[in-house]
């Protein structure tokens, strides 16, 4: 019998993983130590996004300290005892930052995580040096997406089914995802699905939220913006 080929090892893990308790909530936290110089980058994922989705970013800048976490009910962070709002998430993020001995950070937010990042910059302003927002919006007061796209975003099916993710990624994410289905496949390899409850708690956390009336007053420089 022919020997089975050995699986090709993946790239080395950039983030070390730990469970951190902030108040009554356990959070699964990922951290890249970097060079130990400068302020860390605190990253907020998009809805349903887990730590592993930040690994490629961390590997692209190995000297930068990066901290991220699975929000309650997502990835491997347990469900919270009760529903939360973005302001609650900002406090949890501040606790994570402090647990690693940091008083300040630069903050990156992608999509849903961009709303969380905006709220962190407002609620925990003394801890936020710079704000980087990617593919996000000021909440419920914004130009809406097409109804068909919103319906696809309202379900976590794209995080549960690879085939579905490949089919709808171009319409949801736009840009290069329309031309290159391999991008969606590469992203899906990092997904660690947990539960419907966690996904809908994230939707509820941002329901009715908007930064439109205070975003322009934030003192932090917006260090960048982008589209996926």
Active site residues: 111
Contacts of 227 (CB under 8 A, 6+ apart): 134, 135, 174, 175
The beta-strand segments (E) located in 57-112 are 66-69, 105-110
Cα(213)–Cα(141) distance, rounded to whole angstroms? 10
d(CA 40, CA 171): 33
Euclidean distance between CA atoms 119 and 125, whole angstroms? 9
Closest residue by Cα to residue 106 from 45, 43, 41, 44: 41
E strand residue ranges, 33-192: 41-44, 66-69, 105-110, 128-134
């Amino acid at each position: 019998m022919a020997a089975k080929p050995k699986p090709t090892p993946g790239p080395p893990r950039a983030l070390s993983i730990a469970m951190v308790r902030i108040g009554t909530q356990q959070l699964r936290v990922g951290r890249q130590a970097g060079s130990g110089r400068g302020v860390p980058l605190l990253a907020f994922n998009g809805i349903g996004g887990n730590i592993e989705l930040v690994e490629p970013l961390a590997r692209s800048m190995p000297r930068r300290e990066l901290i991220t976490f699975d929000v309650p009910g997502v990835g491997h962070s347990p469900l919270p005892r009760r529903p939360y709002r973005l302001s609650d998430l900002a406090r949890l993020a501040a606790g994570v930052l402090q647990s690693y001995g940091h008083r300040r950070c630069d903050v990156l937010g992608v999509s849903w995580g961009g709303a969380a990042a905006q709220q962190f910059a407002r609620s925990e302003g003394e801890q936020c040096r710079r704000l980087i927002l990617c593919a996000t919006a000021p909440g419920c007061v914004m130009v809406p997406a097409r109804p068909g796209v919103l319906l696809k975003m309202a379900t976590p099916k794209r995080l549960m089914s690879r085939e579905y993710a490949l089919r709808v990624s171009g319409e949801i994410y736009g840009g290069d995802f329309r031309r290159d289905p391999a991008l969606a496949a590469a992203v899906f390899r990092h997904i660690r699905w947990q539960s419907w409850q966690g996904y809908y708690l994230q939707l509820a956390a941002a329901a009715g939220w908007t930064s439109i009336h205070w975003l322009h007053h934030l003192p932090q420089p917006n260090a960048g913006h982008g589209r996926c």
